Amino acid sequence: MAKITPLFSLKNLLVVSLALNVSLIWRAMHESEKCNFDSSFSLQQQRRSVMAGCVLKEKEHVSERTHLSLSSSPSPSPSSSLTSTDIQSQDGGERIINVDHGDPTMYEKYWQKAGDKTTIVIPGWQSLSYFSDVRNLCWFLEPEFAKEVVRLHKVVGNAITENHHIVVGTGSTQLFQAALYALSSQDASEPISVVSAAPYYSSYPSITDCVKSRLYKWAGDAKRFNKDGPYIELVTSPNNPDGSVRQSVVNRSGGILVHDLAYYWPQYTSITYPADHDLMLFTVSKSTGHAGTRIGWALVKDMEVAKKMTKYIELNTIGVSKDSQLRAAKVLKVVSDSCKPSGSEDECFFEFTNHQMSTRWKQLRMAVQKSGLFSVPELPSQFCTFLGRAFEPQPGNSSVNAFHVTFL
Amino acid sequence: MAKITPLFSLKNLLVVSLALNVSLIWRAMHESEKCNFDSSFSLQQQRRSVMAGCVLKEKEHVSERTHLSLSSSPSPSPSSSLTSTDIQSQDGGERIINVDHGDPTMYEKYWQKAGDKTTIVIPGWQSLSYFSDVRNLCWFLEPEFAKEVVRLHKVVGNAITENHHIVVGTGSTQLFQAALYALSSQDASEPISVVSAAPYYSSYPSITDCVKSRLYKWAGDAKRFNKDGPYIELVTSPNNPDGSVRQSVVNRSGGILVHDLAYYWPQYTSITYPADHDLMLFTVSKSTGHAGTRIGWALVKDMEVAKKMTKYIELNTIGVSKDSQLRAAKVLKVVSDSCKPSGSEDECFFEFTNHQMSTRWKQLRMAVQKSGLFSVPELPSQFCTFLGRAFEPQPGNSSVNAFHVTFL
């Protein structure tokens, strides 16, 4: 820490350092204890961070009473500090800027401008049944939602839906567990190893080992994985937390890949090819910002795998909220409509959100540069087939993790 | 089978018998293999039974081309043949009356009559956030839904909400798993036993052992449970499948009780006291018929247990659909309003649905009596503090299980 600007006093550096320690201790505990419960921390984090803000927008206000909270929270989602909008004032006027995770409420502006187009009206007598489409392998999948998923992927060009089955889930988190269930063997003598190249989404271990399944088990960094036998590798691309474009790293026989493509949308990264993997996960939370709906979807090539994923969701929650599926269908439709090649009365959703992310990243880079405390990794610019221009990745996820160890 | 009426030919009896065999074989396999996957069966069942009907309403049409399907399906829910409305015509004109499970669509009539009162309008910019109420232990619980849960229990008098925390879930199925997670110990040397007095809801074993947790394990009939050490006993009252009013049967130290009160509503059974147990599960599917919303709730006395249940749902699905919670809040409000002591312009929801169930049970008893093949158990009449009159239990669940072994 050679260079310290007047922006931070020593007192504040100490606070940052202590917060980092707490974070690292927690992370170490978390690694060993996996899903052991620490509710007080979690709840406190939630309370502190729900309105947590974006360091960049508020950089003018950073004073000696403002400090960063770098704690790694076990709470909500692979979401993003860069998709949050607010900053929380604590008792006594201290400001906590939590850049660990966020909430995609920044897209609210777009949806407010869109007005009634995405308003959904559900009469009390609708959607009483458990069933959505009994002719479909995934019997709780609303046909309208499935249709809009297919259309949106076609419009954006980020995934092939042909020859894939769609399985809807209560967010992609449930689908991730459904995939583990579907890809593991009921008869195996030991749990199948689940790996992902570090740095990986911090909740993967907790989710995988939550109920200590004998079917699957978290086995850490894919780059260090050298155990014989079958394994499941999670390929998160763009990656959470660092936004890098990824491919499988283990590359051995017996491996099964799950592609978490939650952030493979044009506001975060360049669309370079239509993904055509065996099992791909997506979520409305990241694509349109509707985290409260808890809707995700999987594109699955193998019919038996899709059936087993459906079975898991049947046993876990007997299907997925119809109301939210119908709402998500309407939202996806409006997104596709807004990006029609022939033009639309609305601004294309991805142009708007790409611009939002771009602005925020510029501000973050400026603030980080001024602080002299951190560096932000430079990621290569790529041509986006959807937006028709090249841009650097602008991850929406917990970007602090990408630079919190890079002290200058 | 001493008496055979002309209603059934020998050929049809054979079909019934074969179906029963399939059911029993499947059940035996199911017991041993627990949650092993049999998607073809499941899907077939779903396809066949989605529009499955009520034997009673259609009894006039029972002919030599109609047969009962008694197979025990692993698919949707502890729901009811007596809450389904339709009958499915197969290719070739054969009718399959599946009385194994159903769909609460019969309440649709009430909700249609209620008109716009329960219509919900959600603008596209609403409910983007993951969070519902950060001041609440259950941070994804919509305050409006919590308020209406408390009010409805007060109106009906079926449960005490004071000194209980409310945890919302994606149906009570997810809350059941959250309870198992919360009540088991992370450090135990072996999984805690999970038991319930037979006959129990046929999906309990599959759900409990779905991912072969090392935290908890299905241990079968509570009446035969004689293992030392801690255990979790599920007390389902009224019981699924037989509608009986139940209490704990193990009664040993180290036992933790989970009360599944999904059917403790005045359309199914007399409300005799406000339940005040440590952990009680309820669901909108059974109380109002809105199965498609996938909303359930738990009333939990111990704060640490409620926190751990919240933690499970956070890891499992990062919360619960806001859209469905808001919709459920509106539906519960209309139910409470319709049953106001001062009277309402609408018929009290529970009067209407109690009458529907009563009519169907009368028809079922008549049909069963005429067939001479089965008997339906007589359950004692009790005074209902809510409806102000005595009536016999009229279970909404898979009542066929209650009499399928009672051949005359």
Residue B363: which H helix or E strand, with range?
helix B349-371
Could you give the domains of chain B?
Answer: 10-104+350-403 (no CATH), 111-338 (3.40.640.10)
B363: Cα separation from own chain's centroid: 22
Query: Of the given ranges (A32-36, A322-326, B357-361), which has the lowest mean pLDDT?
Result: A32-36
Q: What is the pLDDT of residue B253?
A: 83
Query: What residues of B are in contact with residue A292 (Cβ under 8 Å)?
Result: 126-130, 132, 319, 321-323
- Touching check for A215 and chain B: CB below 8 Å? yes
CA distance B268 to chain A (A): 18
B158: Cα separation from own chain's centroid: 16
- Touching check for A317 and chain B: CB below 8 Å? yes
- Which of B112, B292, B321 is facing A129, going by the closest CB pair? B292
Q: A215 near B211, Cβ under 8 Å?
A: yes
Closest chain B residue to A335 measured between Cα atoms?
A: B124
- Touching check for A107 and chain B: CB below 8 Å? yes
The closest alpha carbon to A114, from A292, A294, A334, A263, belongs to: A334
The closest alpha carbon to A42, from A201, A194, A203, belongs to: A203
Helix axis angle for A349-371 and A322-338, nearest 10°, is: 90
The closest alpha carbon to B400, from B175, B185, B240, B215, belongs to: B240
User: How many inter-chain contacts (A to B, CB under 8 Å) are there?
Assistant: 292
- Touching check for B217 and chain A: CB below 8 Å? no
Residue A10: which H helix or E strand, with range?
helix A10-33
pLDDT score of B53 more than 90? no
Question: What average pLDDT score do residues A307-317 get?
Answer: 98
What is the Cα–Cα distance from B315 to A292, expressed in whole angstroms? Answer: 15
Cβ contacts of A37 within 8 Å, gap of 6 or more: B186, B307, B308, B311
Token pair in block for residue B368? 């069963």
pLDDT digits (tens, 9 = 90+) for A158-175: 999 999 999 999 999 999
pLDDT score of A359 more than 70? yes
Buried b (16+ CB within 10 A) or exposed e, A55-67: bbbbbeebeeebb
Query: Of the given ranges (A56-60, A89-93, A262-266), which has the lowest mean pLDDT?
Result: A56-60
The beta strands (E) that lie in B109-253 are given as 120-122, 165-170, 192-196, 216-221, 231-236
Beta-carbon separation of B114 and A103 below 8 A: no
Question: What average pLDDT score do residues B20-37 get?
Answer: 39
- Mean predicted lDDT score pLDDT of chain B: 79
More confident residue, A103 or B127: B127
**Three-state SS at A115:** helix
What's the Cα-to-Cα distance from B190 to each of A201, B120, B216, B258, rounded to whole Å?
Answer: 30, 47, 8, 20
Helix axis angle for A322-338 and B322-338, nearest 10°, is: 130
CA angle B120, B124, B126 (to 5 degrees): 75
pLDDT digits (tens, 9 = 90+) for B247-281: 999 978 889 999 999 999 999 999 999 999 999 99
**Three-state SS at A260:** strand
Q: What is the pLDDT of residue A190?
A: 95
**Three-state SS at B387:** coil
Tell which B residues from 152 to 181 touch A, by Cβ distance under 8 Å.
170-171, 173-174, 177, 180-181
Cβ contacts of B16 within 8 Å, gap of 6 or more: B8, B67, B68, B70, B373
A41 falls in which pLDDT band (50, 70, 90)?
very low
pLDDT digits (tens, 9 = 90+) for B278-299: 999 999 999 999 999 999 999 9
What is the Cα–Cα distance from A193 to A216, expressed in whole angstroms? Answer: 6
Beta-carbon separation of A322 and B77 below 8 A: no
The closest alpha carbon to A231, from A241, A217, A213, belongs to: A217
Cis peptide bond prior to B241, omega within 30° of 0: yes
Beta-carbon separation of B318 and A77 below 8 A: yes
Beta-carbon separation of B315 and A112 below 8 A: no
- Touching check for A188 and chain B: CB below 8 Å? no
Q: What is the pLDDT of residue A208?
A: 98
Q: What is the pLDDT of residue A100?
A: 58
To test the contact with chain B by mutation, choose from A106, A127, A170 the residue with the greatest count of B C-beta atoms within 10 A, namely: A170
Query: What residues of A are in contact with residue B185 (Cβ under 8 Å)?
Result: none
Q: B260 near B208, Cβ under 8 Å?
A: no
Token pair in block for residue A402? 């990408």
pLDDT score of A45 more than 50? no
Tell which A residues from 265 to 304 touch B, by Cβ distance under 8 Å.
285, 289-295, 304
Q: A245 near A265, Cβ under 8 Å?
A: no
Helix axis angle for A322-338 and A143-156, nearest 10°, is: 30
What is the Cα–Cα distance from A124 to A323, expressed in whole angstroms? Answer: 11
